[in-house]
Amino acid sequence: MSAPLRLRPPRHRVSRRAIIWWSTQAAAEVAAVLAPLVIGVFVWDDARPWLVPGTVAVAIIGLGYLLVMPRWRFRVHRWETTDAAVYTSAGWMSQQWRVAPMSRIQTVDTERGPLQQLFGLATVTVTTASAAGALRLAGLDRAVAEDLVEQLTAMTQATPGDAT
Amino acid sequence: MTAVIAPGEPGWQRLNPWMLAVTPLRQLAGLLPVIAVVVVIGIGQDVGGRIYSVLAGVLVVLFTGMLRWFTTRYRITSERVELRTGVVFRSTRSVARDRIRSVDVTAGPIHRLFRLSVVKIGTGERAEGREARELTLDAISAAEADRVRQRLLDPLDAGGPDRSDAPAATELAALSWSWLRFAPLTVSSLVALVAVAGAIGQLINDVGANAVDVGGVREKLTMAPLWVGIAAFAVLVLMIALGGSVLIFIEAWWGFTLVRELGGTLRIRRGLFTTRSVSLEERRLRGVEVVEPPLLRFGRGARTIAVATGLGGRRGHGRGTLLPPAPRSEAHRVSGAVLAEDPSPTASVLRRHPLVALRRRLVRATVPVLVASAALWLAPVPTWVAWAVLGLLPVAVLLALDAYCNLGHALTSHYLVTRHGAGVRGTVALQRTGVIGWTVSQSLLQRRAGLVTVTATTAAGNGGYSVIDIETSEGLAVAEQAVPGLLEPFVQHDVSGVTHPLGSTA
């Protein structure tokens, strides 16, 4: 082999508002873990010697997660379509790159949770015949997502093949 | 009874008339315990009333069984198979012929008494609109079942004339009784063990109180040293587990043959009391997996499983099994025969993965043991517990070594071969044309080690088969070569020498 190979990042980033979306989600997750601990500190006197440092530790880790994860994700989450394939990258600490050829795409779904609606975002899921092959493009701008779905639907209809 | 299917004719047919007897018989067999209880408890009271109520129940069962036969009809046209049942709740199930993926024929002991077979017609996992996922004809005559099976699986038969000549078939594998030695090395021996343990527990519960009263035995029991009792018990359990697993093996695999039929179908037939016939279209086959569970590996045994679409669910609930536990060489030979490749791709020489992968496995195996043992050392438990946990360290190291040795991959002219597993070793040969996408994943630790996991996604089997912990550049090269053009547009030659996929973001 000549020079080592590597995957190049897909061409397009997701919407910048996805950072806010992921931050909100992370805040909710951290709050869900932290709330019982804080209540415990106030209610359960005997446990304070070990519960207070524990809560502080969880709070620090949670804050780190809240600050790092959304930005890291934004750098990683990318997508691209060519005439022949859809290519995505996702994750943060652990990352995945997925490729699905147009001829194998079975369905293209859009999903917009309440938070995503609030921030004008959408998640596009591209499924193939494989039980393990779905591509999720999370945190796309709503308009971009609509265009993408339209484009993918048109392309997959034009591409022959039984998708298995 | 002798209803011959006339192709294209819109004729609805009944199930076999013997079902008038079989359905009530099977239901009565199920009801037998209830009847016994009713009769026994009834003794001393109004015996006549009890017997009448039992008779009434039996009549109801007989009646509903007969009603089912009278109201059930099926039809096979050139486009679809249809089944109508019910009077009050009428239901029509319909399966399009071109969606049929499997036709299985089963016959339990009672069915066999009347020369009947149950035909199960499956369409795989997906069902759309009013289409049914599967359709069961319970039951038609065995001869009829065979005709239906052949007709539904023959791609040339779409309303054309019946082929009178029996299709020529090639036998790919047949049972060898020497394989019986693998029976105790399978899960069925564990199943037998559990069954025996349960039975013994029950026995002790039931008989225990009485047995203790038998003075002589009790004295002898208490005089004999404890270890004699334990040893005798262990030997007994072992014998029963051995015997049970052998019996289960014989029942399941009696008369096993794997045959390739002319229409491009693989057919597995097996079973002593309940005969089973599973048919698999070859065009649904995407590859083969050779599985070696821990015990079987000690005996140099393995099983072969089909990787096919439309088997329904993960590994198709055993429907994809192509071979009983057999010698490893036989498992590979059958894999090759099924894929029409010689030598079998599953037996190819595999490329080892980098040594960093071994380090990862050692860390993953030993760190939890060390942490647990340290935690126990500090915890208020006797120190021997911590020592005992620490004693697991060699086992963990061995498992890690095994997991590393099992890692491997190869690319043959038509197949992507990958192997992994700690304890259970699985070697998959996946058709390169059956790959419908790639997933490359990398954890933080993998990134530091310069490794990736490359997963080929496919419509068959598990949905994805992974080459785990392969050096990044090599992994991408394998994916690129396996399916030319798919991953290629997204792969770059890295001049800077950075070996992780997204050098810029790390």
Would you say residue B248 lies in a domain? yes
Identify whether residues A147 and A85 lie together within a single domain. yes
Q: What share of chain A is helix, strand, coil (3-state, %, to 5)?
A: 50, 25, 20
Q: Please tell me the predicted confidence (pLDDT) of residue B200.
A: 66
CA distance B2 to B287: 40
A157 touches chain B (CB under 8 A): no
What is the 8-class DSSP label of residue B264?
Answer: T
CA distance A128 to A132: 9
Query: How far A83 CA lies from chain B's nearest CA (Å)?
Result: 11
Residue B12 to residues A25, B3, B135, B163: CA-CA distances in angstroms?
58, 11, 15, 21
Residue of B nearest to A71 (CA): B505
Cβ contact (<8 Å) for B492 and A10? no
Strand order in the sheet with B425-431: B321-327, B301-308, B285-292, B425-431, B415-420, B408-411
CA distance B184 to B182: 6
Identify whether residues B123 and B240 lie together within a single domain. no
Residues with Cβ within 8 Å of A112's Cβ and at least 6 positions away in sequence, in order, are: A121, A122, A123, A142
End-to-end CA gap in chain A: 32
The total domain count for chain B is: 3
Identify whether residues A60 and A115 lie together within a single domain. no
Identify whether residues A143 and A96 lie together within a single domain. yes
Would you say residue A7 lies in a domain? no
CA distance A164 to B359: 38
Q: Domain span at residue B359?
A: 355-490
Would you say residue A137 lies in a domain? yes
A68 touches chain B (CB under 8 A): no
Identify whether residues B141 and B191 lie together within a single domain. no
Identify whether residues A82 and A70 lie together within a single domain. no
Identify whether residues A85 and A150 lie together within a single domain. yes
Nearest to B276 by CA among B464, B61, B438, B119: B119
* Digitized pLDDT (tens) for each residue of chain B, 506 residues in all: 344 444 444 678 888 888 888 887 887 777 777 777 776 666 555 667 777 777 887 888 778 878 888 888 888 888 888 888 877 777 788 888 887 878 889 998 888 888 999 998 887 655 445 556 778 888 888 898 988 888 888 766 544 444 445 557 888 999 999 999 998 887 666 666 676 667 666 666 655 545 444 455 555 556 667 778 888 888 888 888 788 888 888 988 999 999 998 778 889 999 998 899 988 888 889 999 999 988 888 889 999 999 988 775 544 456 788 999 999 999 999 999 999 988 899 999 999 999 999 999 999 999 999 999 888 888 888 888 888 888 889 999 999 999 999 999 999 999 999 999 888 899 999 999 999 999 999 999 999 999 999 999 998 888 899 999 999 999 999 999 999 889 988 998 876 644 455 544 43
Would you say residue A164 lies in a domain? no
Would you say residue B371 lies in a domain? yes
Name beta bridge partners: B104.
B120
Among candidates B437, B446, B493 on the partner chain, residue whose Cβ is nearest the Cβ of A99: B437
B438 touches chain A (CB under 8 A): yes
Tens-place pLDDT, residues A65-106: 999 999 999 999 999 999 889 999 999 999 999 999 988 888
Tens-place pLDDT, residues A109-162: 898 989 999 999 999 999 888 878 789 999 999 999 999 999 998 888 776 655
Q: Domain span at residue A52?
A: 13-74
CA distance B417 to B397: 26
Among candidates B457, B489, B497 on the partner chain, residue whose Cβ is nearest the Cβ of A132: B457
Length in residues, chain B = 506
B489 touches chain A (CB under 8 A): yes
| Final residue in a domain of this structure, among B166, B187, B211 | B166
Q: Please tell me the predicted confidence (pLDDT) of residue B398.
A: 93
| Residue entry with tokens 């009947």 | B116
Identify whether residues B189 and B92 lie together within a single domain. no
Contacts of B487 in chain A (CB under 8 A): 99
Would you say residue B244 lies in a domain? yes
| Final residue in a domain of this structure, among B124, B144, B166 | B166
Find the DSSP H helices in A13-141.
17-43, 48-76, 114-118
Residues with Cβ within 8 Å of B422's Cβ and at least 6 positions away in sequence, in order, are: B361, B399, B400, B402, B403, B406
B500 touches chain A (CB under 8 A): yes
Q: Please tell me the predicted confidence (pLDDT) of residue A73.
A: 94
Identify whether residues A127 and A153 lie together within a single domain. yes
Cβ contact (<8 Å) for B462 and A132? yes
Identify whether residues A58 and A98 lie together within a single domain. no
Cβ contact (<8 Å) for A130 and B463? yes
Nearest to A88 by CA among A79, A77, A75, A96: A79
Would you say residue B130 lies in a domain? yes
CA distance B107 to B151: 19
CA distance B441 to B466: 10
B279 touches chain A (CB under 8 A): no
Query: How far B99 CA lies from chain A's nearest CA (Å)?
Result: 12
**Interface A:B, Cβ pairs < 8 A:** 139
Burial class (CB in 10 A: 0-12, 13-18, 19+), B383: exposed
Q: Would you tell me how many other CB atoms lie within 10 Å of the CB of residue B309?
A: 22
Would you say residue B207 lies in a domain? yes
CATH of the domain at B402: 2.30.29.30
Cβ contact (<8 Å) for A128 and B457? yes
Q: Is the Cβ–Cβ distance between B124 and B312 less than 8 Å?
A: yes
Identify whether residues B162 and B206 lie together within a single domain. no
Would you say residue A8 lies in a domain? no
| Final residue in a domain of this structure, among A55, A74, A93 | A74
Q: Is the Cβ–Cβ distance between A94 and B482 less than 8 Å?
A: no
| Residue entry with tokens 């800077």 | B496
CA distance B116 to B498: 67
Task: Rounding to the nearest 10 degrees, give the CA dihedral for residues B200, B204, B207, B213.
Answer: 140
Residues with Cβ within 8 Å of A138's Cβ and at least 6 positions away in sequence, in order, are: A14, A18, A77, A90, A123
Mutation to test the B interface, candidates A86, A93, A95, most B Cβ within 10 Å:
A95
Among candidates A96, A97, A129 on the partner chain, residue whose Cβ is nearest the Cβ of B459: A129
ipTM over 0.95: no
The total domain count for chain A is: 2
CA distance B255 to B261: 17
Would you say residue A1 lies in a domain? no
Q: Please tell me the predicted confidence (pLDDT) of residue B31.
A: 76
Identify whether residues A87 and A65 lie together within a single domain. no
Would you say residue B211 lies in a domain? yes
Would you say residue B205 lies in a domain? yes
- Torsion-angle region of A61 (φ positive above 0: left; ψ -120 to 50: alpha; else: beta): alpha
